[in-house]
Amino acid sequence: MEIYRFLPLTAIVILTTLSWRIEPSLRLAWIAAGIITTLCCLSDWLLLARLPQLGLSFGPVNAPLFMFNFIRLVPVSIVFPLIALAGQSWQRIFIVLVVSIFQVYFLVLAYSSLYIEPFRLTLTDLEIPNAPKFLLDRPLRILQLSDLHVEHITPRERSMIEEVNTLSPDLIVLTGDYINKSFLKNSQTLQETRQLLSRLHAAYGVYAINGNLDSPDIMTYLFKGLENIHVLNDEIVPISFPGGSLYLVGVTTIDFNRDYMQIESLLPELPSNAYSLLLYHYPERVDIASTFGVNIFLAGDTHGGQVRLPLVGPVAVAHSDNRYIMGQYQVGLTTLYVSRGLGMQGGMWPRMRFDCPPEMVLVSLGK
């Protein structure tokens, strides 16, 4: 494990040291391209290794470093032959300049994606003006928090609590995945997450459902005894406001087939003409919600792709056939919003976001 992460770097070093066997006029350009790439590879390692030391994220170093170095190796494997074919010195200088710009630019992007964007907490306003006027003097404000994926408490979680306190929403809904999958058995993480959740308060309550990572044991540990949060397990809860009742439908995530059957059995229990808000971790079955006339469907799971590349789109999507990656969708009478979430993928994935910052969603119902 300690060796394989440096395989791409090793290949670059070997190619660079072979420069003595090529024509002297090509040697300087060849060595320059190799040294610049090598230094950037080592910088990748430093960026990844410093994250846990700084208390920012706590993922592995080996697999992400291999990914980064492999990406760097691809242009270098093209550049070295081009240098050998270059007939003029200005051509060799141009080739080295291009590869240098790429390697440095990738380093800047890596830094931003690891150190800046994961902590650039954003707030999305979702206004539903045609909703009932639940509060007589202003819109009802519902804050959605999704996919916290807590490893340990970092500046992101602290900013979230500060922002929640500043917003002072009327209602808070949590749409699952509270612990990063690499930390599901970490007792310190569980304790820190429970303490984090205990700090969430809203005038009309805090309601939560589980996500695909939240087993019954984890949900029990996190929420048992927290009087500030009501966990919805396949149930409908009406919440009374001065201007009428909002019906929350909370569906437990167990497996797709069971969940879909549960959605189909729960939704017919809604009173006719009820204004309803469905909470379910996966966004796929918005078609069922639309069939039964659900007004709003809040989901998460996808992280918005987490890394979104130009022309390629989302990279780290849990379900590749998912048509609903992030943002607002209108399916019949149902408004679906898929949150980018707050945390990041666990396992071998680098703890990074690119063109996909963490998100809280503030839903405003009524004018």
Say whether pLDDT at 23 is over 70.
no
| Per-residue pLDDT, 8 | 63
Higher pLDDT, 73 or 293: 293
- Of 22-31, 97-106, 159-168, 255-264, the range with the lowest mean pLDDT is 22-31
Distances (CA, A) of 334 to 257, 295, 341: 21, 5, 21
Instruction: Output 324-327 pairs: Cβ under 8 A, ≥24 positions apart.
Output: 324/283, 324/284, 324/286, 324/299, 326/302, 326/356
The number of residues in the chain equals 367
Q: Residue 21's CB: how many other CB atoms inside 10 A?
A: 7
pLDDT band at 1 (very low <50, low <70, confident <90, very high): very low
Token digits for 74?
Answer: 């691809």
Q: Say which residues have a Cβ less than 8 Å from residue 96's Cβ, sequence separation at least 6.
A: 29, 32, 33, 36, 79, 83
Q: Residue 109's CB: how many other CB atoms inside 10 A?
A: 14
Average pLDDT of the chain?
91
Q: Which domains occur in the chain, in start order?
A: 4-117 (no CATH), 121-365 (3.60.21.10)
How far is it, in rounded angstroms, from Cα 278 to Cα 146? 14
**Prediction pTM value:** 0.92
